[in-house]
Chains A and B, each alone.
Chain A
Amino acid sequence: MTWQQQDASYHQQSRQHWLSVLACAPYEQVISHWNTLGLDPECEVIRQPEIGLARIQGRVGGTGSRFNFADTTVTRAAIRLADGTTGYGYLQGRNKHHALLIAIADGLLQQRDYHDQLQAQLVAPLASLVKQQHEQVAKQMASTKVDFFTVVRGEDE
């Protein structure tokens, strides 16, 4: 039994997480974290980075029937490592190098020898960075929250 098969659902969740984090983190951050790892695995590009569209669908009323709202640009790539592991990269936007980098990282993250190192030095710091950025925006926006109680005049109510 291989390492990947030990817990398929855990593995899928974990892979879902790293693919999402690597796609959502800013490219500059991904590349600078990647560079510190000093990895340059041999791999074959089986899908050259390709720019295309992904359809964005909304739902009327937020919950109802779907409608085609617009599209977004996306880039995808796929590689195969020397041992046959396939790595995939998908992200919003048109950064081909970013897509390729995700694909390579995805390949390595599926390998026992590299998994822990990449999780610790690439995925985890990027995940906390993304989270931090979201929190930062939320915090800034929270300063615009209206506090109606400050304008209530007791006797009028």
Chain B
Amino acid sequence: MYVAVKGGEQAIQAAHQQQAQRRRGDLNIAELSVTQIQGQLSLGVERVMTEGGIYDQELAALAIKQACGDQVEAIFLLRAYRTTLPMLFTCAPLNTQKMRVQRRISAIYKDLPGGQQLGPTFDYSHRLLDFSLLAEGLGKPTATQEADASTGSNTEANTEPSLQQPFSRVFNMLEQQQLAKPEVDCAAEPADISRDAIHFPCSRAARMQQLSRGDEGFLLALAYSTQRGYGRNHPFAGEIRCGEVALEICPEELGFNIEIGSVLLSECEMVNGFVQPKEAPAHFTRGYGLAFGFSERKAMAVALLDRALQAQQYDEAITSPAQDEEFVLAHADNVAAAGFVSHLKLPHYVDFQSELELLRKMHQSQHAPCANTGYPSGNPSGQPSKQTVTKETDNAKV
């Protein structure tokens, strides 16, 4: 039960002012611009776009600035903004086949058509702090800038047209050899959980949407749990690709498709442990993940969970949290999670008062001799009664 509490307007105003000052920081240091955040904290921006559900770098960067870098708060801001806009179009489904690939790796085939292309990555770095970045703005080029320059000259040398060899899909090869089942379009109109609340059991479309918007940390931890044995599904990173995919819309008044821009995407396809159905040859199972930007850790986590949540379809025993659709999907959204946890900060004065009264009554009846101190003086009758007390209070709440 909540009771309206009035007052504190001035305190709130002052608190917001303090927050604004804290956001701005030391006035002797130049203010961070949204363009800088957009250009130089791109991975942060991309996470906020993925979980905020809108591809718009400038808005995501603005949200990060406003939220002092708090990603969950920034995601909340973007989600709130989203609700103010009309839905004008539905783009043609992303054709990742036609991705302008920047990065493409496979952990299951060394040599595959198109080859392995690393693109920008932290992989293979030693995770040593680069102190040369501390020296920025002192006029001398940093190590990174030098690296950029040298890569640039390398590129000049590598300009043969053969580089344009298309990156064929790894799963295509497996499908052709009947080692994997092709994903077929069921042509159903996909659920939209941002309009209709999710119900369990839900469609794979609803699942994919919720996973895509889900908290990276939560999904990563659950994906990790499957690798550690809680819902093992024996994954291989079949293919990870990052690059630009064109967006097309078909405005009603035109009646034909036009390209309106593109999105930078990370796509992950996991090859998972095989099944041996009676009616078809033994084949690998698969999981799929998609995220904005160079967010392959998120895409991989989604792909692992997409597969883990197919447990029922493959008659696998559902024994672990990562396989439990309701557990995963109902708790994946960090805006919902942060909201419900944060609501504990709201006044619960009356609730708490009633619990206090209940507890005091129990003290009076249980420890009549020391009731006047107001505090329990230990529990000579032993632990079990304490258990009962907790249970009763819980029931009383309901």
**Which A residues contact B (CB, under 8 angstroms)?**
12, 15-16, 19-20, 23-24, 50-74, 76, 78, 86, 88, 90-94, 134, 137-146, 148
**CB of B192 to closest CB in A, whole Å:** 5
| Given A62-B267, A68-B205, A90 and B110 contact (CB-CB distance below 8 Å) | no
Chain A residues positioned under 8 Å from B249 (CB to CB): 54, 74, 90
Given pairs A61-B288, A140-B155, 17 additional interface contacts (CB within 8 A): A24-B262, A52-B87, A53-B86, A53-B87, A55-B89, A55-B90, A57-B93, A57-B190, A62-B267, A64-B186, A68-B209, A69-B209, A71-B87, A74-B260, A139-B159, A143-B151, A148-B111
Q: In the bound complex, how far is the Cα of B115 from the Cα of A59, in angstroms?
A: 24
Are A66's CB and B50's CB within 8 A? no
Contacts of B244 in A (CB 8 A): 134, 137
8 A Cβ contacts from B266-288 to A: 267, 269, 286, 288
Contact A93 B56 (CB under 8 A): yes
Closest A residue, CB atoms, query B159 = A139
Q: Does B31 contact A (CB under 8 A)?
A: no
Sampled A-B contacts (7; CB under 8 Å):
A20-B258, A61-B288, A67-B209, A74-B88, A142-B158, A145-B115, A145-B116
Residue pair A54, B247 in contact (C-beta under 8 Å): yes
What residues on B are CB-neighbors of A142 within 8 Å?
117, 155, 158, 163
The CA of A93 and the CA of B115, in the complex, are separated in Å by: 34
| Assembly CA distance A62 to B94 (angstroms) | 8
| Residue numbers in B under 8 Å from A60 (CB-CB) | 183, 204, 208, 288, 306
**Distance of A76 from chain B, by nearest CB (Å):** 6
Is there contact, CB below 8 Å, between B97 and A62? yes
Of the residues A23, A69, A70, A73, contact of B259 by C-beta under 8 Å: A23
How many chain B residues have a CB neighbour from A under 8 Å? Answer: 82
Q: By the criterion CB–CB under 8 Å, are A59 and B185 in contact?
A: yes
The yes or no answer to B39 lying at the interface (CB within 8 A) is no
Most buried by B among A20, A52, A94, A144: A144
Residues of B within 8 A of A (CB): 49-50, 53-56, 58-59, 82, 85-91, 93-94, 96-97, 100-103, 110-111, 115-120, 151-152, 154-155, 158-159, 163-164, 169, 171, 182-188, 190-194, 204-206, 208-209, 212-213, 244, 247, 249, 251, 253-254, 256-263, 267, 269, 286, 288, 290, 292, 306
User: Which residues in B have their C-beta under 8 angstroms from that of A69?
Assistant: 94, 208-209, 212, 290
A67 lies within 8 A of B190 (CB):
yes
Assess the B117–A70 pair: CB atoms within 8 A.
no
Are B117 and A144 within 8 A (Cβ)? yes
CA A138 to CA B212, docked complex, whole Å: 27
Mostly helix, strand, loop or mixed at chain B's interface? mixed
Bound-state Cα–Cα, A100 to B317, Å: 57
- Going nearest first, the 8 A-B pairs with the smallest beta carbon separation are A64-B183, A92-B261, A61-B183, A52-B88, A20-B259, A67-B208, A67-B205, A54-B89
Q: Which residues of A contact B120 (CB under 8 A)?
A: 144
* Residue of A51, A54, A56 with highest tally of chain B CB at under 10 A: A56
Q: State the Cβ distance, A108 to closest chain B Cβ, in Å.
A: 17
Q: Which residue of chain B has its CB nearest to the CB of A78?
A: B253
- Quick check: A141 and B261 within 8 Å, CB to CB? no
A89 and B332 CA atoms in complex are apart in Å by: 38
Nearest-Cβ distance from residue A140 to partner chain B, whole angstroms? 5
Q: How far is the CB of A81 from chain B (nearest CB, A)?
A: 16
The chain A residue sitting closest to B290, CB to CB, is A58
**Which of B154, B194, B251, B286 meets A68, CB within 8 Å?**
B194
Cβ distance B334 to chain A, nearest Cβ, rounded Å: 15
A residues less than 8 Å from B93 (CB atoms): 57-59, 66
Within 8 Å by CB of B163, from A23, A61, A86, A138, lies: A138
Could you say which residues of chain A place their CB within 8 Å of the CB of B258?
Answer: 16, 19-20, 23, 90
Once the chains bind, are A138 and B164 in contact (CB under 8 Å)?
yes
Set A24, A67, A146: member contacting B261, Cβ < 8 A: A24
Which has the most chain A C-beta neighbours within 10 Å: B87, B159, B286? B87
**CB-defined contacts of A24 to chain B, threshold 8 Å:** 259-262
A157 to B292 CA separation, bound complex (whole angstroms): 40
How far, in angstroms, from A64 to B192 measured CA to CA in the complex?
17
Taking the closest CB of chain B, its distance from the CB of A132, in whole angstroms, is 13
Provide the residues of chain B in CB contact with A53, threshold 8 Å. Answer: 54, 82, 85-89
Inter-chain contact A57/B260, CB cutoff 8 Å: no
Write out the residue numbers on chain A whose beta carbons fall within 8 Å of the beta carbon of B101: 141
Given A55-B89, A143-B158, also A71-B119 (CB < 8 A): no
Chain A residues with CB under 8 A of B58: 93-94
Give the docked Cα–Cα distance between A13 and B126 (Å): 51
> What CA separation (Å) do A118 and B163 show in the bound complex?
34
A50: chain B residues at CB < 8 Å are 86, 88
B282 to chain A, nearest CB (A): 19
Contacts A70-B292, A72-B261, A142-B158; is A61 near B115 (CB within 8 Å)?
Answer: no
